[in-house]
Amino acid sequence: MTVAEELQATIADLVDGRRGVLAADESAGTIAKRFQAVGVDSTEEHRRSYRSLLLGTEGLGQYISGVILFEETLAQRDNSGTPLPELAARAGMVPGIKVDKGKGPLPGAPGDMITYGLDGLAERLRGYKEQGARFAKWREVYPVSPVNPTPLGLTANAEMLARYAAVCQSCGVVPIVEPEVLMDGNQGIERSAQVNEQVWETVFHALHRHGVVLEYILLKPSMVTPGSECAKAPPQQVAEYTLRSLCRAVPAAVPSINFLSGGQGPEEATANLNALNQLWQAPWQLSFSYGRALQQPVLHCWAGDDSRATLAQAALRKRARLNHLAMLGEYSEGLESMEAGDLPGGDAGGAD
């Protein structure tokens, strides 16, 4: 199989108009904070047990096409000895891997950040592929202020994303390109739209310069929302501003836009995705790549108690199915009160 055929096969498995991506790639620091919130110590065994619970959820592959994993997870096994990437693949979910190495201040651009991890990336990707990973994810973050992101912040972050994506494609790995415009702050939705457009335009100029084939990437952007210190915008307004900005900045060649949830709650992220898919026919698949917005109910249900695994898995299945319905523009708030198995069509299918 050629590199192009390899990339196309992965895209075909990830993009089917009805499923999204589960982000289960929390760094050691992030998952420690999430566990602490539910009274669980972040030990290697607790992380293995929790991520085994996620990937072993029966029927999850009906609604989730891919799972982004943390490096540690690639080498872990479930209680029966099955490698966790293989567990995901058996359920019809493509295993992926977070490859960036965290972020820090960008010298020369006060207030802006830059992500690390390009050194040795090609070699690491070859090892990850041997462990089952077929796609990767790299995140750049953009704080918003009256002066941020600066011109240097825009170009430097775009350059990192483009270099990462080019290396991935050269290795036969599909890159998820994640430029996250942070929700922190008091910026209104107009300012948020302006920043997102600037970010996306700069990123795609860089991708073109580096010869990245757009048909073989996924874009994981923020939705256009007001800052967290402002009142929340209704889903219809979020959808209007987000799609307007995307149409101005993102080429139609990109096969799928898998939104991150950022600081949105589970119901909010689902309602906004539903509004996006109801507004008008976009040239891309409009999907999700949620972490906390899928996992938050699961963590609170599990809370380190493996006897509650079945209930926690039902919570994950429910959130995944609701976001599947949002991709079809068929979600409603009334579905939130239903148990996973009681949703229209049941877990066996229906709307699929």
* Dihedral pair phi/psi, residue 177, rounded to 5°: -100, 115
Residues 178, 197, 240, 318: which is the catalytic one? 178
71 is an active site residue: no
Strands 218-219 and 174-181: parallel
Residues 140, 159, 197, 220: which is the catalytic one? 220
178 is an active site residue: yes
- Round to whole Å and give the CA distance between 70 and 32: 13
- Contact of 223 with 268, CB cutoff 8 Å: no
Query: How many CB atoms lie under 10 A from the CB of residue 9?
Result: 15
- Round to whole Å and give the CA distance between 287 and 96: 17
* Residue 116, helix vs strand vs coil: coil
* Dihedral pair phi/psi, residue 292, rounded to 5°: -60, -35
Sign of the dihedral defined by the CA atoms of residues 88, 270, 14, 212, in that order: negative
* Pair of tokens at residue 67: 């799972």
Give the active site residues: 178, 220
